[in-house]
């Protein structure tokens, strides 16, 4: 198990320092009891719909491992866009409030899911012909906040991280080449914890050896200086108009004028 400190959402300085050093930070108190209850209900509903339609062997992240996909059109995910408990941390990380939401989703694994290979969620987007600069040489371009919907523990497929790899130009090792400690670097934390992570930090799921579903929802954000087109369906105008003013500012680049 990875030794991870749970940092209160109010301790912004410590959370930011940990994020810059480790590539991720575990934050407690990000969701109220009511927000967590709503998020859990939404996750259960979508899991039931998706697993009824998609057999375990056809799951999009490997056997019994699914991505939620874009769920920002649902209120259970919309509440994650502008949470007051985490936005000050993002603002301090980037030194600006002018970042953009990229959507909301997450993933889940069912009993029987195998360990997932280590990976980063973004590749080199600079492609410098001189080979002098890569996307791993700059501050975090893309941050995802994962919200644990159940207590994460050793047996139910907790996410694992390899600290301090967010600025590593090397590719992560293949699963059969990983040292044993990497396979055991999973995070144990209670439901409601927010894992704020630089998407370049090496991570992966672990085997779900329990009898429970292990879901975590998420919201993503681009740095003020970074943008790339979102490939998944974008936000409809009707959904956008029902957001709070702050959430509208964060989602301003997601609105698709062709979606009513």
Q: What's the pLDDT tens digit per position in 141-191?
A: 999 999 999 999 999 999 999 999 999 999 999 999 999 999 999 999 999
Confidence of residue 227 (pLDDT cuts 50, 70, 90): confident
> Does the residue 118 lie in any domain?
yes
Mean pLDDT of 20-26: 98
d(CA 158, CA 216): 10
> Does the residue 18 lie in any domain?
yes
> Does the residue 233 lie in any domain?
no
Q: What's the pLDDT tens digit per position in 32-67?
A: 999 999 999 999 999 999 999 999 999 999 999 999
> Does the residue 155 lie in any domain?
yes
Looking up residue 158, the CATH number of its domain turns out to be 2.60.120.620
pLDDT of 260 reads: 63
Across the chain, mean pLDDT equals: 95
Whether residue 257 is predicted with pLDDT greater than 80 in this model: the reply is no
Whether residue 232 is predicted with pLDDT greater than 90 in this model: the reply is no
pLDDT of 119 reads: 98
Q: 241: which residues sit within 8 A by CB, 6+ positions away?
A: none
pLDDT of 255 reads: 87
Confidence of residue 231 (pLDDT cuts 50, 70, 90): low
Kindly state the tokens that stand for 259: 């979606």
Domain range enclosing 217: 6-226
> Does the residue 203 lie in any domain?
yes
> Does the residue 96 lie in any domain?
yes
> Does the residue 74 lie in any domain?
yes
Confidence of residue 205 (pLDDT cuts 50, 70, 90): very high
- Characterise 197 by phi-psi region: left (phi > 0), alpha (psi -120 to 50), beta (else): beta
pLDDT of 80 reads: 98
> Does the residue 79 lie in any domain?
yes
pLDDT of 199 reads: 98
How far is CA 126 from each of CA 211, 220, 226, rounded to the nearest angstrom? 43, 21, 11
Q: What's the pLDDT tens digit per position in 63-96?
A: 999 999 999 999 999 999 999 999 999 999 999 9
Element (H, E) at 6: strand 6-8
- Domains identified in the chain, total number: 1
- What is the three-class DSSP state of 144? strand
């Amino acid at each position: 198990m990875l030794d991870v400190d749970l940092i209160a959402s109010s301790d912004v300085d410590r959370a930011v320092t940990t994020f810059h050093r480790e590539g991720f930070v575990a934050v407690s108190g990000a969701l109220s009891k009511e927000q967590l209850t709503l998020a859990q209900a939404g996750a259960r509903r979508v899991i039931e719909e998706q697993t009824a339609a998609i057999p375990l062997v056809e799951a999009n992240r490997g056997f019994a491992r699914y991505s939620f996909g874009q769920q920002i059109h649902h209120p259970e995910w919309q509440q994650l866009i502008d949470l007051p408990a985490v936005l000050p941390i993002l603002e301090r990380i980037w030194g600006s409030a002018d970042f953009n939401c990229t959507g909301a989703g997450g993933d889940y694994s069912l009993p029987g899911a195998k360990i997932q290979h280590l990976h980063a969620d973004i590749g080199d987007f600079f492609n410098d012909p001189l080979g002098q600069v890569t996307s791993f040489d700059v501050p975090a371009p893309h941050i995802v906040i994962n919200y644990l919907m159940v207590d994460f523990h050793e047996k139910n497929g907790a996410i694992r991280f390899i600290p301090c790899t967010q600025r590593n130009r090397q590719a992560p090792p293949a699963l059969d080449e990983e040292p044993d400690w990497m396979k055991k670097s999973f995070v144990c934390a209670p439901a409601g914890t927010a894992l704020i992570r630089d998407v370049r930090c090496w991570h992966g799921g672990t085997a779900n050896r329990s009898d429970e579903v292990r879901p975590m929802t998420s919201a993503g954000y681009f740095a003020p200086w970074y943008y790339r087109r979102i490939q998944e369906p974008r936000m409809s105008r009707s959904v956008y108009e029902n957001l709070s003013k702050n959430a509208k500012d964060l989602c301003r680049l997601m609105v698709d004028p062709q979606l009513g």
